[in-house]
């Protein structure tokens, strides 16, 4: 069984589309982990055949809490502003039964603007070369591998990067050709150039050893509320 774990915070504008696009059957379990939303996110989530639980407002903590209580032997961590291509779940099944510890999907930014083709291409090349994955690439992992590496570090930024770094030390990881469609909302709200520069700046800061707590201060939270 694949358990899809979706962390949310004030996502009333995206949660229905995200949950509406998922397939529900006996081989899929979906859990929404809310981080203290103060709008209609929970109300909308409960309209779907999913389990909804509450957690502190911290994405790493939310992901860990979801993983702790789900039943599946394979986990998929899905951001609520991301949409899976058809056939993605089947590819996870085949990948994780071929001795891979985990992986992610090929990212496609959900906009027709040409600049996004450059951004997504560079991100996909980075992921394939480094085997370092970002959360909006829809990271998946075997259950045993998740707990063996201790889950996500409870930090404010780059919990996905540290997680994938630990994962590739444990075993083989992959970038599947199937696509995950990521929302362009952050770039659209802040501007493509500004958002890209912020991303590069905080990424550089992280890789030269600046604390995520410090980097969080220059990172603009674009979620609602």
Q: What is the mean pLDDT of the chain?
A: 90
Residue 223's pLDDT is 40
Residue 220's pLDDT is 52
Global pTM value:
0.90
Residue ranges of the chain whose pLDDT lies below 50: 221-225
Exposed/middle/buried for residue 203 (C-beta within 10 Å: 0-12, 13-18, 19+): middle
> What are the domain boundaries of the chain?
2-184
Give dist(CA 63, CA 4) in Å, integer.
10
Residue-wise DSSP of the chain: -EEEEEEESS-TTTHHHHHHTS--STTEEEEEEE-S--SSHHHHHTTSS-EEEE--S-HHHHHHHHHHH---SEEEE--TTEEEPTTHHHHHHHHHTTTEEEEEEEEEES---HHHHHHHHHHHHHHHHH----GGG-EEEEHHHHHHTTS----SS-HHHHHHHHHHHHSEEEEEEEEEEE--HHHHHH-HHHHHHHHHHHHHHHHTT--HHHHGGGS---S--
Residue 143's pLDDT is 96
Residue 211's pLDDT is 77
Residue 224's pLDDT is 39
CATH T-level topology, domain 2-184: Spore Coat Polysaccharide Biosynthesis Protein SpsA; Chain A (3.90.550)
């Amino acid at each position: 069984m694949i358990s899809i774990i979706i962390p949310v915070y004030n996502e009333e504008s995206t949660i229905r589309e995200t949950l509406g696009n998922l397939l529900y059957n006996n081989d899929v379990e979906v859990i929404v982990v809310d981080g203290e939303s103060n709008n209609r996110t929970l109300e909308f989530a409960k309209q779907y055949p999913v389990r909804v639980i509450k957690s502190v407002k911290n994405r790493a903590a939310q992901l860990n809490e979801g993983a702790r209580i789900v039943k599946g032997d394979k986990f998929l961590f899905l951001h609520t502003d991301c949409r899976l291509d058809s056939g993605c779940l089947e590819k996870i099944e085949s990948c994780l039964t071929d001795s891979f510890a985990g992986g992610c999907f090929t990212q496609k930014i959900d906009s027709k603007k040409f600049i996004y083709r450059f951004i997504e291409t560079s991100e996909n090349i980075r992921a394939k070369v480094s085997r370092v994955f970002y959360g909006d690439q829809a990271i998946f992992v075997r259950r045993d591998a998740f707990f063996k590496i201790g889950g996500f570090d409870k930090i404010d930024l780059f919990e996905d990067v540290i997680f994938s770094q630990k994962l590739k030390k444990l075993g083989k990881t992959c970038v599947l050709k199937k696509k995950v469609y990521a929302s362009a909302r952050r770039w659209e709200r802040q501007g493509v150039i500004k958002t890209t520069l912020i991303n590069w700046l905080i990424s550089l800061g992280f890789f030269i050893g600046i604390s995520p707590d410090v980097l969080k201060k220059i990172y603009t939270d674009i979620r609602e509320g």
